[in-house]
């Protein structure tokens, strides 16, 4: 993604830097090195102990392993991440949250009924993550966008995803970047990583579909 990124004024991260995979320390260090503003995600909350992980999911989330890998300094940094950010560029009011206006766990998929509760004024943008599903939708007079994820796609496209917002024109562009996810899957298999966590990196059409009600997805 960084290699594909054109010249921009700022990079923003919607959280979930850690969880599932074996290099959370390198991810956190890179984000800190670049000075990327970031909000906290539900996986950060689990790693710092602010919320309890589902016991059945702990083997996939690798909570304890991640804590040990990160060490005290990085965990302190994660604990200090804000819940939201309010930014202003070229007359646009941009709010950044991990999942939704309400919390770090609500899923806002394209057909989520809760999208109807969001009403943004003209020139207001809400940027979220969490679902691993790109989204660009008008909510009221403003826009809600989700750039998607780097890994574990839920729109059946295994390429890395990010979004570009031109604050002068109000144009949102969704970007996809191919990477060798198959090689990474082989590396994880050699490390005896969780099989489902490996498989989700290459999810495409024809794989197991999410539930019809995407507010409670099959894969969390």
pLDDT tens, position by position, 1-42: 999 999 999 999 999 999 999 999 999 999 999 999 999 999
Given this model, what pLDDT does residue 162 score? 98
Residues 6 or more apart whose CB falls under 8 angstroms from that of 26 comprise: none
Q: What is the rounded average pLDDT of the residues 204-211?
A: 54
Cα dihedral value 37, 40, 41, 45, nearest 10: 150
Please report which confidence band the pLDDT of residue 197 belongs to, taking 50, 70 and 90 as the band edges. Answer: very high
Given this model, what pLDDT does residue 220 score? 34
pLDDT > 70 fraction of the chain, expressed in percent and rounded: 93
Please report which confidence band the pLDDT of residue 206 belongs to, taking 50, 70 and 90 as the band edges. Answer: low
Q: CA–CA separation, 166 vs 54, rounded Å? A: 39
Angle at CA of residue 183, ends 178 and 186, nearest 5°: 145
Given this model, what pLDDT does residue 59 score? 81
Q: CA–CA separation, 66 vs 55, rounded Å? A: 15
Please report which confidence band the pLDDT of residue 53 belongs to, taking 50, 70 and 90 as the band edges. Answer: confident
Q: Is the pLDDT of residue 210 over 70?
A: no
Q: Is the pLDDT of residue 219 over 80?
A: no
**pLDDT tens digits for range 97-135:** 999 999 999 999 999 999 999 999 999 999 999 999 999
**213 - beta bridge partners?**
none
Given this model, what pLDDT does residue 51 score? 92
Q: CA–CA separation, 73 vs 36, rounded Å? A: 17
**pLDDT tens digits for range 152-161:** 999 999 999 9
Q: Is the pLDDT of residue 146 over 50?
A: yes
Given this model, what pLDDT does residue 17 score? 97
The domains of the chain, with CATH numbers, are 9-82 (no CATH), 84-214 (3.60.21.10)
Q: CA–CA separation, 107 vs 49, rounded Å? A: 21
**143 - beta bridge partners?**
125, 138
Given this model, what pLDDT does residue 213 score? 40
Q: What is the rounded average pLDDT of the residues 50-78?
A: 92
Q: Is the pLDDT of residue 58 over 90?
A: no
């Amino acid at each position: 993604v960084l290699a594909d990124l054109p010249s921009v004024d700022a990079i923003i991260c919607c959280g979930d830097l850690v969880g599932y995979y074996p290099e959370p320390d390198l991810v956190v260090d890179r984000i800190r090195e670049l000075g990327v503003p970031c909000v906290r995600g539900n996986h950060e909350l689990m790693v710092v102990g602010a919320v309890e992980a589902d016991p059945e999911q702990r083997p996939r989330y690798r909570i304890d392993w991640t804590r040990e890998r990160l060490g005290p300094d990085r965990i302190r940094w994660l604990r200090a991440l804000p819940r939201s950010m309010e930014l202003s560029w070229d007359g646009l009011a941009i709010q950044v949250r991990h999942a939704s206006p309400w919390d770090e766990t609500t899923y806002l998929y394209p057909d989520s009924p809760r999208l109807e509760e969001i009403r943004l004024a003209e020139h207001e943008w809400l940027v979220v993550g969490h679902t691993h599903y790109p989204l660009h939708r008008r909510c009221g007079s403003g826009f809600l966008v989700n750039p998607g994820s780097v890994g574990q796609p839920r729109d059946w496209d295994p390429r890395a995803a990010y979004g570009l917002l031109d604050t002068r024109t109000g144009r949102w562009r969704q970007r996809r970047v191919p990477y060798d996810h198959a090689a990474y899957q082989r590396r994880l298999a050699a490390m005896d990583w969780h099989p489902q966590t490996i498989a989700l990196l290459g999810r495409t059409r024809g794989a197991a579909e999410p539930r019809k009600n995407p507010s409670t997805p099959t894969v969390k």
